[in-house]
């Protein structure tokens, strides 16, 4: 009987090793961040999400987790990203989303700065200086580049009531934005809860959702992995 138990145990261990060396484990890391700009009439959210994926054999999964804990950044097997631009006024919410095709660090839009009735930004992928044209980022003309001295008049710092506008980050903490006498934005970017959540609250009414981005790090099913990375085969 002991020999039979030993044989069964050995076979079970062998089967586990074979399966762990042949089956894939799917790992997803989703994070995001961005900025909110507002004056006394409207607010703009510029939020980017970044999705990184690994598919490794189960036998190598522990090494991947140890690397995450130690802060080691391995090149992902798959990656994708999206840019969300949301305009909020007292009359409603206008949403736009587009794919970030250039995955290099620092290639996406940033340095949002209101100047002369436009929200300008630095977007290296499309040439640098650009402005938000209502449904897309429009590259600056040569005349605009000269007039604004390239991106030298843009700022990457938070600011309060600068020419009627204020700017802050949507990540790392919770706070409330008062948009004139029209409404408030409730920003929940606390890393503790692992999400970016923004609600709109008008006087005397319950808050209504404006934006939510789930942030997660961990195992995923094969189907979830494929949904996240559409081009993965």
Q: What is the pLDDT of residues 80-125, one digit of tens each?
A: 889 999 999 999 999 999 999 887 778 899 999 999 999 999 999 9
Residue among 107, 151, 150 at smallest CA distance from 125: 107
The answer to whether position 87 is within a domain reads yes
- At CB < 8 A and 24+ separation, what contacts does 94-102 make? 96/135, 96/136, 98/136, 100/48, 100/125, 101/125
The answer to whether position 233 is within a domain reads no
The answer to whether position 175 is within a domain reads yes
The answer to whether position 79 is within a domain reads yes
The answer to whether position 176 is within a domain reads yes
pLDDT digits (tens, 9 = 90+) for 113-154: 999 999 999 999 999 999 999 999 999 999 999 999 999 999
The answer to whether position 112 is within a domain reads yes
Contact 172, 190 (CB under 8 A): yes
The domain containing residue 116 runs over which residues?
A: 2-228
The answer to whether position 207 is within a domain reads yes
Tokens 């195992």: give the residue.
Answer: 219
Question: Please, which pLDDT band fits residue 71 given cuts at 50, 70 and 90?
Answer: low
Query: How many structural domains does the chain have?
Result: 1
pLDDT for the residue 200: 96
pLDDT digits (tens, 9 = 90+) for 4-60: 444 434 433 333 333 344 468 888 888 888 999 999 999 999 999 888 888 887 676
The answer to whether position 132 is within a domain reads yes
Alpha carbons 134 and 228: distance in angstroms, whole number: 27
């Amino acid at each position: 009987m002991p020999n039979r138990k030993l044989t069964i145990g050995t076979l079970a261990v062998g089967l586990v090793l074979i399966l762990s060396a042949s089956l894939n484990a799917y790992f997803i890391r989703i994070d995001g961040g961005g900025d909110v700009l507002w004056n006394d009439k409207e607010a703009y959210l510029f939020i980017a999400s970044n999705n990184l994926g690994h598919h490794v054999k189960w036998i190598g999964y522990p090494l991947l987790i140890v690397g995450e804990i130690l802060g080691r950044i391995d090149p992902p097997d798959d990656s994708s990203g999206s840019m969300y631009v949301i305009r909020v006024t007292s009359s409603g919410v206008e949403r736009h989303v587009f794919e970030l095709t250039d995955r290099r660090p620092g290639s996406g839009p940033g340095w949002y700065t209101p100047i002369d009735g436009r929200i300008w930004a630095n977007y290296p992928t499309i040439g640098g200086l650009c402005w938000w044209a209502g449904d897309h980022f429009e590259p600056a003309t040569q005349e605009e580049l000269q007039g604004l001295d390239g991106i030298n008049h843009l700022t990457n710092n938070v600011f309060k009531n600068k020419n009627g506008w204020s700017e802050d980050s949507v990540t790392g903490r919770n706070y409330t934005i008062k948009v004139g006498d029209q409404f408030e934005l409730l920003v929940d970017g606390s890393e503790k809860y692992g999400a970016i959540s923004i609600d709109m609250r008008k006087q005397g009414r319950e808050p209504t959702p404006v934006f939510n981005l789930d942030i997660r790090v961990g195992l995923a099913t094969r189907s979830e992995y494929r949904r996240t990375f559409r081009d993965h085969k």
